[in-house]
Structure 1
Amino acid sequence: MRKLFYLFVVLSIVSCKKTPHDYVTLSGEITNLKVDTLTVYGNNRYIKKILVKKDGSFSDTLKIEAGFFALSDGKSQTFLNLKNGYELELKADADKFEESIVFEGDGAGTNNYLALKIKTQKQFGLDNLEAFFLMEKSAFDAKVKEIDDFNAKLLVDAKDLDSTFTANEKTANERMVVFLNENYEAQHSKLTKFALGQPAPTFDLENFKGGKTSLKSLAGKYVYIDVWATWCAPCIQQIPDLKRVEDQYKGKNIAFVSLSIDKLAEKTKWRDMIKEKQLGGIQLFGESDWNSKFVKDFDITGIPRFILIDPQGNIVDADAPRPSDPRLIALFDSLKL
């Protein structure tokens, strides 16, 4: 979802005109910056490192193809619209990057417009489309109209925009409204099905230690489920953090369940990996890999996928933070585990 949000913001390439030189000069000052390097990312794997002085000032040249780029300090980032000939200056405070960023010089009009649009689109909640689609229809329609009206006014009020860029932005804004309206019903239905407090789909699966384990048998405890497979590299990467979290909450009112969706032919590999990596928690094997009932019921299309269920068998978070994400511990703490 988050990626879709950026598609609304970064849409077009401004038209070219004759320039006095064939490179971009990018300079500026970022106060409270904790790093000595900025990175510019572009299409076709373009990467440029810019050194920053101790006072937060920097200046460098970039020979590029006109288009959109991301400027990052490793923590925060902004999008830039660049073309050769620009002499663009940026000023910002690293502690409140998006709120403080201002551009001056050639190309400042377009880049100030982009910075303001990114900030306000986040304020509208478009960086979290799941929450957006969870709104009831009347509230959703009102919010879409508010965003559409704001974007239209933002574009009218913007200064020094290239005419092609302006036309492309109008098209982008129209497409965003169409996207939101066309996807509301399906997304709202899906998200409300798995919303907080909804009954969780159940399972009754083969346990590595013998017999079967069902969600019903874990009633009275929170259940943190890891849907994974032995062939999934990102899943394997989460194992050390999962073991750490399991140890941290050992003896607490929570069960840790790992549900493999390996193919039946890979069951021996599944068993071997559990032994080799000394996996803890409750290790279960899905009855039909991607077609396992629990996987289909939760509409799982990618792994690893983590799910948190409450002691009554209701959903707490159908797409819970990963063990490596500090938000998971914050979530557990909020539940007073």
Structure 2
Amino acid sequence: MFKKITFISGLLVLLCSCSSEINNPTTILSGSITNPTEKLLLITGSDTFRDTIRVDDSGNFKDTLNLLPGSYLLSYGKLFWRSYLENGYNVQIAFDSKDFSKTINYTGAGGNENNYIFHKLSRQRQAMNIRQQAMKNINDSSLALLNTQKEALLTYLNEYPSLDPAFKELEQKNINYGYMSDLKRLEKSDTLNLVTGLRNELKKLNHTLNYNHGMDYLFSGSYKRIIEDYYRTNARQTAKTSNLDYDIAFLKEISRIKNDTIRNSLAYNHAKYGITYTKDLDTFYSLFLKTSTDTKHNEEISGSYKVLKKVAKGSPSPDFKAYENYNGGNTSLKDLAGAYLFIDVWATWCGPCRKEIPYLKELESRYHGRNIKFVSISIDKQKDREKWKQMIEDKQLGGVQLLADKDWESSFVKEYLIKGIPRFIILDPQGNIIDYNAPTPSSGELETIFNEFDL
């Protein structure tokens, strides 16, 4: 097995069950692929789980895994699909890579449940136009359309042969959570008048909803979204009434969750990126540790905290050396000493980065001739350097335009723990950090900050 394999999932679907074979502490996943094209089958789950399984030249694979019950995304080349896995399953998968959807078949313990999942999702895709109609035109018929779709799924579930009773019970709830999730989306999108039927139905469903079902959270993507939306809504309200930053308010809200599975998952998924953006690192970190009881999660976030403490205000900035300069030659951080630096870490493929360009150009024009340099560091891959040059030319970008040496793996990027772009950094003339997570040009906040400097 190969650890720490990263890949991007493209499907948002839900599946799950509960173990009926408690004597087997592991999951056995095996299978055969006709017309094999790849050497690895990728598997990823919620939060931190990543793994790969070797596929031999004949298309055969087998691995033994220790898994939480839940939905796992499998990827083979350009094929992506969902499977429900739990310890106690011994699942065999067979398919032809040239005709995947018509040939995939599961056998063994857990096979029947996974065949149901695959065919249910196919039925949902075929009926997508009904759901889209209900979500687009909000009226008295929307509730009926969504309810019809829900009942059709429940009927299909009840007609599917020989499903494990525990799986069936969870899937019934999953279908209802999907229905409820759609109603909540309708509630948000209707800015005028929520029709009476929808309002009454949501009131009834909200009254019966339990926010502490850990197995439902692992099983149902819809339940997970409902739970997360509930606590995020509460956090936004808390932030307003308590004068707290939202990221801190969210941790305070979820710290009260009784179920460890839900609380730990929400805390981790909030913190793995949120800790890199918070304005109050120590409070954020302290609250996270009080909220999370997951050792693996805590070790990762503690590592992030230690990295970010090194780039606190007043600390010397991490260095970069010999970055390619669009105007020719190479530039290092020391070459820019003596002026304030406003550093933009960006990439040509980043939409939010491109949206900041007009505001950045305006800001640069306003402070032209002052003791501040505007430095843009692209983390485009070296093979895309011509795209980088072309965008600089097309957008008529000014300032100091640099190309990082190893994109996301550049030491400058890693030492600042940059996990999302654009990221803006302000340094003083001595190269010390003023703000490692500065406001965006579009925020309108930078002029006030810059006017405090001796420019």
How is 1:1-337 mapped onto 2 (pairs within 5 angstroms)? 43-44=181-182, 45-46=185-186, 47-51=188-192, 61=196, 63-64=198-199, 82-83=203-204, 118=238, 122-123=242-243, 127-128=247-248, 130-135=278-283, 140=286, 176=291, 178=293, 182=298, 185-204=302-321, 205-337=323-455
TM, length-normalised to structure 1: 0.55
Q: Is the 8 A contact 1:134 1:191 kept in 2?
A: no
The 10-residue stretch of structure 1 (260-269 or 127-136) with the greater mean CA deviation from structure 2 = 127-136
- Call closer, same or farther: CA 1:237–1:311 in 2, change over 3 Å: same
Q: Is the 8 A contact 2:340 2:372 kept in 1?
A: yes
Separation of aligned partners in 1, 2:435 and 2:347: 21
- Call closer, same or farther: CA 1:187–1:48 in 2, change over 3 Å: same
Separation of aligned partners in 2, 1:303 and 1:117: 27
- Call closer, same or farther: CA 1:116–1:221 in 2, change over 3 Å: closer
The one of the two structures with greater contact order (alpha-carbon pairs below 8 A, sep at least 6) is 1
| TM-superposition CA deviations, 1:292-333 (whole Å, max 9, x none) | 222122222221111111111011111111111112222212
- Call closer, same or farther: CA 1:50–1:299 in 2, change over 3 Å: closer
Gaps of 5+ in 2: 1-142, 144-179, 208-233, 249-274
What is the letter of the counterpart of residue 202 of structure 1?
D
Count of aligned pairs between the two proteins: 221
Separation of aligned partners in 1, 2:443 and 2:340: 19
What is the letter of the counterpart of residue 264 of structure 1?
Q
Q: CA deviation at 1:178?
A: 4.5
Higher share in helix: 2
Q: CA deviation at 1:214?
A: 1.4
Higher share in strand: 1
Q: Is the 8 A contact 2:361 2:397 kept in 1?
A: yes
Separation of aligned partners in 1, 2:195 and 2:284: 49
Q: Is the 8 A contact 1:260 1:289 kept in 2?
A: yes
SS at match of 1:220: coil
Larger Rg computed on CA atoms = 2
Q: Percent identity?
A: 41
- Call closer, same or farther: CA 1:289–1:61 in 2, change over 3 Å: same
Separation of aligned partners in 2, 1:321 and 1:305: 9
| TM-superposition CA deviations, 1:196-226 (whole Å, max 9, x none) | 0111011121111111111111111111111
What is the letter of the counterpart of residue 176 of structure 1?
T
In angstroms, what is the RMSD of aligned CA positions?
4.0
Gaps of 5+ in 1: 1-22, 24-41, 52-57, 68-81, 87-113, 145-172
Q: CA deviation at 1:270?
A: 1.2
| TM-superposition CA deviations, 1:148-170 (whole Å, max 9, x none) | xxxxxxxxxxxxxxxxxxxxxxx
TM, length-normalised to structure 2: 0.42
What is the letter of the counterpart of residue 210 of structure 1?
G
Q: Is the 8 A contact 1:310 1:316 kept in 2?
A: yes
Separation of aligned partners in 2, 1:49 and 1:299: 39
Q: Is the 8 A contact 1:50 1:60 kept in 2?
A: no
SS at match of 2:373: strand
- Call closer, same or farther: CA 1:278–1:127 in 2, change over 3 Å: same
SS at match of 2:386: helix
Q: Is the 8 A contact 2:239 2:246 kept in 1?
A: no
Q: CA deviation at 1:176?
A: 3.3
| TM-superposition CA deviations, 1:13-39 (whole Å, max 9, x none) | xxxxxxxxxx9xxxxxxxxxxxxxxxx
